[in-house]
Structure 1
């Protein structure tokens, strides 16, 4: 049997978005991790690891704007690196307000700040990273995530060496808290009757049986599911054909408590029944 080479993960994204946290988690998962590596040197690192540890040892490389002009080659290297390893680009992002708060907490200047403000550095960095974000396989918005939540997301995506499959995350959210920026598809459940206005259901959530039954028993809910699931399955197949292995489906309602939670669970259940690798997360559950 031929030896299956280990995965090559390129970690990039905004300064303060959690690159160090992600790389440390991958190291704990058994990856050979190299921080702040110019992208042009990635093939050399792969050859070194192949010789020292064998081709099955997975590798993670942190590449960011600290590499200066060397970083500009990352987009080109994405498809030209002849490493013989399956590769994934992970892009970590967060809101400017969150990034400013984190940078001020550690009292470190932004690498592109120069003599200007911290926000000036963030603005320049977003311009530099725009092309990379567009080709990333996995985008994680770390706004509002703590260290443990981010490490859990990384472990979920990279903690097993199973055959390469599309990993689908169905996330419920409340529109009043903002749309998840890492969503590939967004579904709006506000067209369904709101259990919030049913006294006996108001204090409960979409994870409760009676709330879920109320939401899913609406004729419009079944019509939506019958039409939406084939679309997701079609897109999932296309993602695999294009070499993408992650898809995030966001399902929203007003507060992220009733309708979006119940419908997220049902969408995930139906996708799993077709053999998809699916997980659910409820971003705003408990905020009300």
Structure 2
């Protein structure tokens, strides 16, 4: 396992979680010795952290090292790339009062931009890309344990993400479903302050005349595709559901999909990227804004 990504996105947390799962974890070794460090992989899995902290770091050279590892018949190599939104990374650095390793005397935003550019070759060839923006450290650890724990080796984990189209597509998504065609609970005063996790919103969405046909065809498609992905050796699949605000329709459908996949025996995690955003108040209700760190503290993951 090669773990890389942006500083502040959770690479150290992932390496610690893998170490607790039995991996021999090695953080940021010189690129020239990475091949030698995999010699013990025959007896125990190895997790190697690669990042841009070294003064002579070269993203293209790092990608070539990973490509050489992939060519070895004695290794099964997974490149795990961690990302996060710029505003989330800025908040994490502010909260911890750390300096960015690539901008020790300058602005954190400059270090983030430089690191994105340096790591671009690794990100382009990654097997798994995970956006940790909505995840707490505990939630990130739980996802790593679910995917790479010894009881789950060789199986595939399905990540389900709900999102708002106004904030862009999830970059880690493999399959994207647009559910904006369903009638919108936002325009119902009693439902607007709720989310798709509330039974009333779920029932409203499911009562849409076109929901039944959409659901049966979508689940039929996924039930056929998922075993084929496993057969092709895929370890992680991300399915994204998007609506306008990311609080009602996409959340309700994502929750239903999580329950459906669990019932089918799949390991599935559900993440709601925008559920923390303040909802428009019902008529006559005072407007309440979310706390500044709500994205980090209340994003829902299972």
Global fold match (TM > 0.5): yes
Aligned to 2:63: 75
Post-superposition offset of 1:47: 1.7
Structure-2 change in CA distance of 1:99 and 1:72 (3 Å): same
Which residue, out of 45, 52, 55, partners 1:58?
45
Query: CA deviation digits over 1:168-213, x for unaligned, max 9?
Result: 1112234455543322333222211122333554454433444323
State the alpha-carbon separation in 2 of the partners of residues 203 and 109 from structure 1: 38
Structure-2 change in CA distance of 1:272 and 1:130 (3 Å): same
Contact between 1:63 and 1:71, CA under 8 Å: does it hold in 2? no
Structure-2 change in CA distance of 1:284 and 1:162 (3 Å): same
SS in 1 for 2:152: coil
State the alpha-carbon separation in 1 of the partners of residues 157 and 176 from structure 2: 17
Instruction: Give unmatched runs, 5+ long, in structure 2.
Output: 280-302
Query: CA deviation digits over 1:28-50, x for unaligned, max 9?
Result: 22321101123442332222465
Post-superposition offset of 1:61: 0.9
SS in 2 for 1:219: coil
Contact between 1:10 and 1:87, CA under 8 Å: does it hold in 2? yes
Aligned to 1:88: 78
Aligned to 2:20: 28
State the alpha-carbon separation in 2 of the partners of residues 251 and 49 from structure 1: 38
Post-superposition offset of 1:223: 2.8
Contact between 1:139 and 1:182, CA under 8 Å: does it hold in 2? yes
- Deviates most, 65-74 or 133-142: 65-74
Q: Aligned runs of 1:92-131 on 2, under 5 Å?
A: 92-103=82-93, 105-111=96-102, 113=103, 117-131=107-121
1:140 aligns with 2:133: no
Aligned to 1:211: 201
Over the aligned positions, Cα root-mean-square deviation in angstroms equals: 3.0
The number of residue pairs the alignment matches comes to: 274
State the alpha-carbon separation in 1 of the partners of residues 151 and 36 from structure 2: 23
SS in 1 for 2:53: helix
Contact between 1:40 and 1:70, CA under 8 Å: does it hold in 2? no
Contact between 1:38 and 1:71, CA under 8 Å: does it hold in 2? no
SS in 2 for 1:65: coil
User: Which contiguous aligned blocks of 4+ residues in structure 1 show a shift greater than 6 angstroms?
Assistant: none
State the alpha-carbon separation in 2 of the partners of residues 167 and 79 from structure 1: 24
Instruction: Give unmatched runs, 5+ long, in structure 1.
Output: 1-8
State the alpha-carbon separation in 2 of the partners of residues 215 and 222 from structure 1: 10
SS in 1 for 2:118: helix
Which residue, out of 257, 267, 290, partners 1:277?
267
State the alpha-carbon separation in 2 of the partners of residues 221 and 192 from structure 1: 7
Post-superposition offset of 1:227: 3.8
